[in-house]
Amino acid sequence: MNSVNLHSYRKVYASGAPLRGALWYFINLAFFQTAFPFPVFLKTFLLRLFGASVGKRTVLKPRISIKYPWLLKLGHDVWVGEKVWIDNLAEVNIGDNVCISQGAYLMTGNHNYKKSSFDLIIAPVSVEDGVWVGAKAVICPGVTLRSHSVITAASVVTKDTVAFTVYQGNPARPVRERIIE
């Protein structure tokens, strides 16, 4: 029987220029991961400076983490709650009027447990308009959250959702239609 050999692991994603990545690491730590409530205009300026696309009226709470802003697109009226982690080794696209509640985790990378080298698998995440990602929900690589779907607190989404549908659980399953009055 074969076994895992982490020594044979190879990094398979491009994080960009090393200097830019190192500089972003410290900016992220100082201005985004901190509990100090820096003004949103400063945070959006820094994100844009590092290549992110950020729409109007964005809300970025304290203690969030963004891996690579140059792989991030935020639409208009996006709310990002405290302790959200956008672990974007691949592109993360977030539409308009999206709420990502505190502690949510959007990940674009995972490992292939079937390979002895434990290869990294990356895939983009897309969050369409009007979606609400509940507190401490996990969105896995390659997932598209369709328009106005709701992911309830602590749910784990491993597959694309259906528009205007509420999802709950681990793995997240559809539980009801979302009706907006």
So which residues are the catalytic ones?
Answer: 111
166 close to 150: Cβ distance less than 8 angstroms: yes
Residue 163 has a CB neighbour count (10 Å cut-off) of 15
Residue with tokens 């009801």: 176
* Torsion from C-alpha of 64, 66, 72, 77, nearest 10 degrees: 10
Spatial CB neighbours of 59, under 8 Å, sequence gap ≥ 6: 40, 78, 79, 80
| Burial class (CB within 10 angstroms; exposed 0-12, middle 13-18, buried 19+) of 40 | middle
CA distances from 58 to 17, 46, 47, 74, 105 (A): 27, 13, 12, 8, 18
DSSP H helices, the chain, are 18-27, 40-49
